[in-house]
Structure 1
Amino acid sequence: MNLASLTEFLTSGSRRVHLIGVAGSGMSGIAALLLALGHRVSGSDKVDTIEVQRLVKKGLNFHTPHLSGEVNGAELVVYSSAIKAGNVAYDEATQLGIPMVRRADALAAIMNSKKGVVVCGMHGKTTTSSMAAHVLRSCGLKPSHYVGAEIPILGTNARWDSEGEYFVAEGDESDGTLINYHPEHAIVLNIEPEHLDFYKDLAAIDAVYTKLVTQTRGKVIYCGDDEGATRVCASHPGAVSYGHDAKNRYRITDLVVKNFRSHFTTWRGEEKLGDVTLNIPGAHNALNALAAIALATEIGQPFDRIASALETFRGARRRFEIRHESPRNLVVDDYGHHPTEIAATIATARTGDWKRVLVMFQPHRYTRTLALKEEFGRAFGLADHVFVANVYPASEKPIPGVSGQTIVDAVLANGHPSAFHEEDITKIHQLAGARIQDGDIILSLGAGNIHEAGARLVKDLETRDALSTVMGPGTIKLYEPLSRHTTMRVGGPAQFWVEPETEEGFADLVSYCDDHDIPFMVMGRGSNLLVRDGGIPGVVAQLSKGDFARYEVNGVEITAGVGLKLKQLTAVAQNAGIGGFEWMEGIPGNLGGSLRMNAGAMGSQTFEQVVRVRYCDTDGNIFTRTPAEMEVHYRDVPTLRQNYALSATLRGYPASAEDIAAKIAESTQKRKTSQPIAASAGCIFKNPAAIPAGKLVDELGFKNFAVGRARVSEVHGNFIVNDGGATAEEILTLIGEIKAAAARERGIELETEVQIVGVDA
């Protein structure tokens, strides 16, 4: 069908129309228009969406997945640019000889029945077409519209109004279908190299825009500050330029951009039209608003109504969309995926009062990443930290050597101090979140699914803020690497790392997490602990400050908070002339961990000296118990598995400074000669009844045996050391091999003494 016959077909009576790929944002808009025109519309796609379900309520007959039978009886099939031969519905329609048109053909035909306004350009067309539709509606013109995103202020991305004579549409240049439109007016925002997966070069892009401009009957409103738009549009008889430069027909002066708003004065030639306040961010959006002003003014609308409409305008989804706002941080999601868009969005972020800008970016298409890598390298200059995911392919096949690292390399080559690549899109929010400070604005940028990473970050920021309020004094961090806090120097991130400073705050935190089903654990100094590479979901608390670092000496008893290091406790006892604590001197842990597992060394155990323990339960209730009232075993205290120790009183005996010093020296010397100094978690296995674990490991031939960078110590067989860069997976593999050999060759089932926590990567 040609344009005239397709227009006649779609605007004169009810037809049976099927849409292949109806769930896409562009196709769902076509479905909405066809339903409003009274057609019987069916559609299919490989996924369902909220928008599809909204259309189903309006009459869409939807099916997923695509089926060949869905096109039976259709008088017309409309398909998206992503649909090709090989799709079962497409192939069936072809075989049956059903007329088939692309999305842009259908849109051009529908728009052709009204005074069409096509808004096009490489950047800004969704926002500008939305502004134009909103302004014309506010002026009482009842326009129909079609835009490429959800626009809350317009109600939906597509609307048909039979009473209005105008139709504002966002024109997609990515597949060359701009040539299908024969509009009354056109707005051309900018023209530069883009979509080079489709176009050979800039000349090919110019040719498509030139044809659109030639086919425009009325005004061609173009940005006179843009070289490409000027090159293509200036010679049209209806050309109207806009921009900052004084040569333009419509221009802006006195532009002030601050706190994500802008104020400016608008001129038409030498005539001052008036002032405009725009409540969406960015200097680039002031230009977009000027394009809408030029359109509305050229068709005779009063400036005061235009300015009033623009002041009430709110942006499209994923166009500098604020997803989280608190006194501490702001998270913004934006569709920007071209270097020009990225630079503009980051510049906009800088207009607020936030201290630093962090960017999570997902490249879109391998061809764009390769063709514009130098431009990408320059686009992130105003960001403090840049985190780049792997390429979102958008149906493209990978290009060897092209990935997110391509952009990181280009960014670093331009002198940027901080750019990182994360292959796993589900983890990029952790990479960024671990560096967040108060006062940061965080951007998620890209046309793929990077917004999902932003959503994950927002959820955790909201939880972080709630935990902080509950806890009171203390510190809380997102995605803290636990390798920093374990003596083994391995372990993935803690989702929420908290350091409360008061017993009351800690108890409230425990209760809150229990009420909200947030996993919770306490970590001491990180000895006798192996954290898996995926880290620990939920809250990990370290009690090392404030109330938990205090101690008091009373005779031969010492009452101390669980955060006190055992080495410090030994020193306190020595200074007070209290013996019995010397064995603790070389243990790299704190009192809390020692209590929880009844730690011991050199023939002594913690609970041999404990007088009483204060702990809280999961409801935040605090109790004091003696060892006789608790269940205590070798390297295990069941009472403290689900409860959390706060402090304890331990008893020693009077001793001279000389005796204490001698025993400490003896303990230190024995430890140096029998235990490795390399990074380790302490003893890996509990001692079996038949033979010490270290001797068994030696006899099995594992001394100095390694898996990756994890190695059995040559000093003591019950120690596994990290030779630098070992992973938890390597350590667990080594543990598994030792256990299997012990069972196979000696019939001994070794039990781990080290606590193994967390999830796999």
Structure 2
Amino acid sequence: MKHASELDLPKLLTREHHKIHLIGVAGSGMSGIAALLLELGHEVSGSDKTSTVETDRLRRLGLRFHQNHHADDASDADLIVFSSAIAIDNPILLSARDFGKPAVRRAEVLAAIMRTKRAILIAGMHGKTTTSAMTAHVLREAGLHPSHYVGAEIPILGSNAHWDPLGEYFVAEGDESDGTLRCFQPRHSLILNIEEEHLDFYVDLAAIEKAFAQLIEQTTGTLFYSADDANTARLCAQRKGAISYGFSENADYRGTDIELRDFASVFCVYLRGQQLGEAVLNVPGRHNVQNAIGVIALANELGISFEKIAASLRKFEHARRRFEIKYASDRFLLVDDYAHHPSEIRATLKTARSTRRKRVLAMFQPHRFSRTKALCHKFGDAFDDADRVVVTDVYPASETPIPGISGQTIADEIARHGHRGVSYQPRFEWVHRDIGNMLDAGDLILSMGAGNIHEQLSILAADLVIAEKLKAIVGEEGDVRLYEPLSKHTTLRVGGPAQFWVEPRNENAFAELIRFCRSENLPLFVIGRGSNLLVRDGGIRGVVVHPRGGDFDKIEVDSNEITAGVGAKLKEVAYAGKAAGIGGLEWMEGIPGAVGGGLRMNAGAMGAQTFENVVRVSYLDAEGNPHTKTRDELEVHYRSFPLLENNFAVSAVFRGQPAPAEQIARKLHASQEKRRTSQPIAKSAGCIFKNPQNCPAGQLVEELGLKNSGIGKARVSEVHGNFIVNDGGATAAEMLELIEKIKTVARAQRGIELETEVQIVGEPA
């Protein structure tokens, strides 16, 4: 074949059949080219780093897909097509040059195909995808059989690209990011907006305007432009026969009386002062109304009646990732949007605010280091319509990092402009946790960015489906929270989040939770006061049940017996005994945990243990069925109650003995004093190790010289050697490392295998 510059591309692509290879075929732009070439009858192959839903669809249409990029993938190809995202040292490109095979850019292929029809090009920094899809839809509804090429999946059009041999029009969006607008010579152009963007390619705004000026010059028919955008109007207004649109009074096609109704917009359209009629757009946002007016102008000038245009717009559904609803319920609304430029973010957040939800929570992923650096000052006030913002790190899009530029750059700029609800989360995989834990009924959650931030919203949406079902089980009186930090619920104050944190208020709800988790194959873990518990930094996957309030906090006295729910504090049981003149329970004052934890660990203090006072225990089995067993029926060990390894306590009955009030008070005071003088005040989980034979664990640690030793913010207490304390900001990883250090020293110096008493659960970060 000839060199690329010598090829008659329109003829080669639309009248002949060839073997064509696309480098980077999984991208939204290249996948559209692949679809067009397949429909035109070519034998198409493509390569990319990963396969996607789109490449799977194309394979069903005939694409020969290659994972990664290898020179021999295109050994039999007549033509190589690549995009600007492909590096110059790509092995397929290098091979093509070595063997003299023609290689052309994606835009050159699209422009050549469009040249064989009446081309309509939609151009501008923002809104191209929605507007080009809307244009193609209106022309299709009018029976004009347009071909189209759009930069995203368009459900209402069936695909992002389609060749229709029956029609004379071809609607496409033009990519201005790499200077390839110069390739197009459309019959009609619709220019939406022009501002600073893609400053990794363009020197400044003047260079951008020069590229658009060339497109305007190369448009052979009618130029349509937004009268509301100053830069666009300045470039286009002097063009002979140009038609303006927008909200401005001097626009040829003007939209007025705009009424935003949640996810729809109603507006009137005038042509040079004469009313054409009312239109309804079932896509939210004032900016989309503006785009629709441009489509109305173009379609009407092509001879389509306003009535047909309005009927088509009423049916229109927007593109994927353009204010796309990912989850909706009575309590929450999750929306994903491609917005990544400050202007797009402002428009998207205004649209979100117009839905009149309680709050708007945004997760944002900056796109490209170059854009973040060049436009960081413009991001500052772009998030004013968001109540809370979580910014993660930059999606590089093949760029190399720029020192000092990160998601923190954007977060700092937003905060500098006075926003008090912004935070930075450098770990992308934790963004959904940060947002999810903020949720309150009535919130709209919005993911924004041109990278993969939508993946975090999808995870949140999937978890919300479960969370809503859990909420239905516990009812209004119960509570369900996503990604609740377990550091807030353990006495040690460390630990990652619970995927689902659930607080039932009664036994029936608890039983239903057990049955639900069993049916959904969800792990279930119960936590009480969180003493004697060390949760790893990755948190706990599944449902974490915290029985509290309602039936679980009740304490009832009957003669010498006290019935207490598992959520009641052991200390409260001791003082209930004091009020009723029941002694023998004073030791409970020294235990920081609740009844449930006391039962599970057979907790003890002052030489006493829980089951010395237990009369009977009521519990739910692994299927949610209720049972009650007396003390004689229960197997109990030192710091262990095997029954609760697979069952769940709901209450217990404790028995004491009548005793004088003075005696009870004296013993309670003694318990307080012992705890005060022998245990640290700092945050701890209680005793870390079980006592080995012949030597208390605390004494052993002291004899090993490990008191007050530490790792990070985790430290062995100087008060008691069997306590590890959190000096503030310690991680579970530091705690575990210190525990292993103590065990290693005990093994090496004394031959003693220390066994942890503290329960260690969860996943590493």
- Give the residue type in structure 2 aligned to 1:746: R
- Give the residue type in structure 2 aligned to 1:134: H
- Give the residue type in structure 2 aligned to 1:737: K
| Structure 2 counterpart of 1:747 | 751
2:20–2:79 contact (8 Å) kept in structure 1: yes
- Alpha-carbon distance in structure 1 between the residues aligned to 2:313 and 2:185: 27
Task: Give the fraction of aligned pairs with identical amino acids, expressed as a percent.
Answer: 58
2:190–2:225 contact (8 Å) kept in structure 1: yes
Q: Which of 352, 365, 370 is equivalent to 1:367?
A: 370
1:68–1:92 contact (8 Å) kept in structure 2: yes
Task: Tell me how far 1:361 sits from its aligned partner.
Answer: 0.1
Any idea what the Cα deviations from partners look like across 1:556-613, whole Å, max 9, x if unmatched? 1111111111111111100011001100012111111000110001100000111110
Task: Tell me how far 1:630 sits from its aligned partner.
Answer: 2.1
| TM-score with structure 1 setting the length | 0.99
- Alpha-carbon distance in structure 2 between the residues aligned to 1:461 and 1:238: 53
Indicate whether 1:534 and 2:538 are aligned: yes
Q: Which of 158, 169, 172 is equivalent to 2:172?
A: 169
> What secondary structure sits across from 1:348 in the alignment?
helix
| Structure 2 counterpart of 1:490 | 494
| Structure 1 counterpart of 2:89 | 86
Task: Tell me how far 1:3 sits from its aligned partner.
Answer: 9.3
- Alpha-carbon distance in structure 2 between the residues aligned to 1:190 and 1:572: 72
Range moving further from structure 2, 336-345 or 666-675: 666-675
> What secondary structure sits across from 1:378 in the alignment?
coil
- Alpha-carbon distance in structure 1 between the residues aligned to 2:84 and 2:635: 68
Indicate whether 1:719 and 2:723 are aligned: yes
Task: Tell me how far 1:98 sits from its aligned partner.
Answer: 1.0
Question: Residues 520-559 of structure 1 correspond to what in structure 2 (within 5 A)?
Answer: 520-559=524-563
- Alpha-carbon distance in structure 1 between the residues aligned to 2:545 and 2:32: 49
2:590–2:605 contact (8 Å) kept in structure 1: no
Indicate whether 1:241 and 2:244 are aligned: yes
Q: Which of 353, 356, 381 is equivalent to 1:353?
A: 356
Q: Which of 422, 427, 436 is equivalent to 1:424?
A: 427
> What secondary structure sits across from 1:703 in the alignment?
coil
Any idea what the Cα deviations from partners look like across 1:251-290, whole Å, max 9, x if unmatched? 1110111212110000110211110001000000001101
Indicate whether 1:333 and 2:357 are aligned: no
Task: Tell me how far 1:750 sits from its aligned partner.
Answer: 0.3
Q: Which of 566, 585, 589 is equivalent to 1:585?
A: 589
| Structure 1 counterpart of 2:298 | 295
1:185–1:216 contact (8 Å) kept in structure 2: yes
Q: Which of 263, 283, 302 is equivalent to 1:260?
A: 263
- Give the residue type in structure 1 aligned to 2:163: W
Task: Tell me how far 1:353 sits from its aligned partner.
Answer: 2.7
Indicate whether 1:136 and 2:153 are aligned: no
- Give the residue type in structure 2 aligned to 1:371: A
1:3–1:109 contact (8 Å) kept in structure 2: no
| Structure 2 counterpart of 1:282 | 285
Question: Residues 298-309 of structure 1 correspond to what in structure 2 (within 5 A)?
Answer: 298-309=301-312
1:557–1:651 contact (8 Å) kept in structure 2: yes
> What secondary structure sits across from 1:423 in the alignment?
coil
Any idea what the Cα deviations from partners look like across 1:182-206, whole Å, max 9, x if unmatched? 0000000000000001111111101
Task: Tell me how far 1:628 sits from its aligned partner.
Answer: 2.2
- Alpha-carbon distance in structure 1 between the residues aligned to 2:411 and 2:66: 41
Q: Which of 698, 701, 716 is equivalent to 1:697?
A: 701
- Alpha-carbon distance in structure 2 between the residues aligned to 1:465 and 1:595: 31
Structure-2 change in CA distance of 1:301 and 1:148 (3 Å): same
Question: Residues 368-517 of structure 1 correspond to what in structure 2 (within 5 A)?
Answer: 368-472=371-475, 473-517=477-521
> What secondary structure sits across from 2:509 in the alignment?
helix
- Alpha-carbon distance in structure 1 between the residues aligned to 2:470 and 2:26: 39
- Alpha-carbon distance in structure 1 between the residues aligned to 2:313 and 2:399: 39
Task: Tell me how far 1:70 sits from its aligned partner.
Answer: 2.2
* Runs of at least 5 residues in structure 1 that lack an aligned partner in the other structure: none
Task: Tell me how far 1:158 sits from its aligned partner.
Answer: 0.3
> What secondary structure sits across from 2:25 in the alignment?
coil
Task: Tell me how far 1:539 sits from its aligned partner.
Answer: 1.1
| Structure 1 counterpart of 2:209 | 206
Indicate whether 1:758 and 2:745 are aligned: no
Indicate whether 1:710 and 2:719 are aligned: no
Question: Residues 102-113 of structure 1 correspond to what in structure 2 (within 5 A)?
Answer: 102-113=105-116
- Give the residue type in structure 1 aligned to 2:208: I
- Give the residue type in structure 1 aligned to 2:413: A
- Alpha-carbon distance in structure 2 between the residues aligned to 1:628 and 1:463: 40
- Alpha-carbon distance in structure 1 between the residues aligned to 2:733 and 2:73: 50
Q: Which of 664, 672, 676 is equivalent to 2:668?
A: 664
Q: Which runs of 4+ in 1 moved over 2 A?
A: 1-4, 470-473
> What secondary structure sits across from 1:648 in the alignment?
strand
| Structure 1 counterpart of 2:31 | 28
- Alpha-carbon distance in structure 1 between the residues aligned to 2:591 and 2:134: 67
Task: Tell me how far 1:225 sits from its aligned partner.
Answer: 0.8
- Alpha-carbon distance in structure 2 between the residues aligned to 1:404 and 1:220: 39
Task: Tell me how far 1:175 sits from its aligned partner.
Answer: 0.3
- Alpha-carbon distance in structure 1 between the residues aligned to 2:364 and 2:312: 33
- Alpha-carbon distance in structure 2 between the residues aligned to 1:535 and 1:652: 39
> What secondary structure sits across from 1:332 in the alignment?
strand
> What secondary structure sits across from 1:150 in the alignment?
coil
1:742–1:748 contact (8 Å) kept in structure 2: yes
Question: Residues 630-649 of structure 1 correspond to what in structure 2 (within 5 A)?
Answer: 630-649=634-653
| Structure 2 counterpart of 1:674 | 678
- Give the residue type in structure 2 aligned to 1:89: I
2:474–2:503 contact (8 Å) kept in structure 1: no
Task: Tell me how far 1:414 sits from its aligned partner.
Answer: 0.4
* Runs of at least 5 residues in structure 2 that lack an aligned partner in the other structure: none
Any idea what the Cα deviations from partners look like across 1:699-749, whole Å, max 9, x if unmatched? 000111111111111111111111111111111111111100000000000
Indicate whether 1:518 and 2:510 are aligned: no
- Alpha-carbon distance in structure 2 between the residues aligned to 1:737 and 1:304: 79
- Give the residue type in structure 2 aligned to 1:69: D
> What secondary structure sits across from 1:688 in the alignment?
coil
1:4–1:109 contact (8 Å) kept in structure 2: no
Task: Tell me how far 1:2 sits from its aligned partner.
Answer: 5.2
> What secondary structure sits across from 2:378 in the alignment?
helix
Task: Tell me how far 1:85 sits from its aligned partner.
Answer: 2.3
> What secondary structure sits across from 2:243 in the alignment?
strand
> What secondary structure sits across from 2:429 in the alignment?
coil
Indicate whether 1:684 and 2:688 are aligned: yes
- Alpha-carbon distance in structure 2 between the residues aligned to 1:84 and 1:718: 59
Indicate whether 1:215 and 2:193 are aligned: no
Indicate whether 1:62 and 2:62 are aligned: no
> What secondary structure sits across from 1:152 in the alignment?
coil
| TM-score with structure 2 setting the length | 0.98
> What secondary structure sits across from 2:381 in the alignment?
helix
Task: Tell me how far 1:88 sits from its aligned partner.
Answer: 1.2
- Alpha-carbon distance in structure 2 between the residues aligned to 1:403 and 1:283: 31
1:223–1:229 contact (8 Å) kept in structure 2: yes
- Alpha-carbon distance in structure 1 between the residues aligned to 2:192 and 2:646: 62
Task: Tell me how far 1:84 sits from its aligned partner.
Answer: 2.5
1:259–1:353 contact (8 Å) kept in structure 2: yes
Any idea what the Cα deviations from partners look like across 1:136-192, whole Å, max 9, x if unmatched? 001111100000000000000000000100000011000000010000000000000
Range moving further from structure 2, 333-342 or 477-486: 477-486
- Alpha-carbon distance in structure 1 between the residues aligned to 2:356 and 2:206: 42
2:187–2:219 contact (8 Å) kept in structure 1: yes
Aligned length: 761
Range moving further from structure 2, 297-306 or 11-20: 11-20
| Structure 1 counterpart of 2:254 | 251
- Give the residue type in structure 2 aligned to 1:567: K
User: What RMSD, in angstroms, separates the aligned Cα atoms of the two structures?
Assistant: 1.0
> What secondary structure sits across from 1:569 in the alignment?
helix
Any idea what the Cα deviations from partners look like across 1:272-313, whole Å, max 9, x if unmatched? 111000100000000110111011011111000000000000
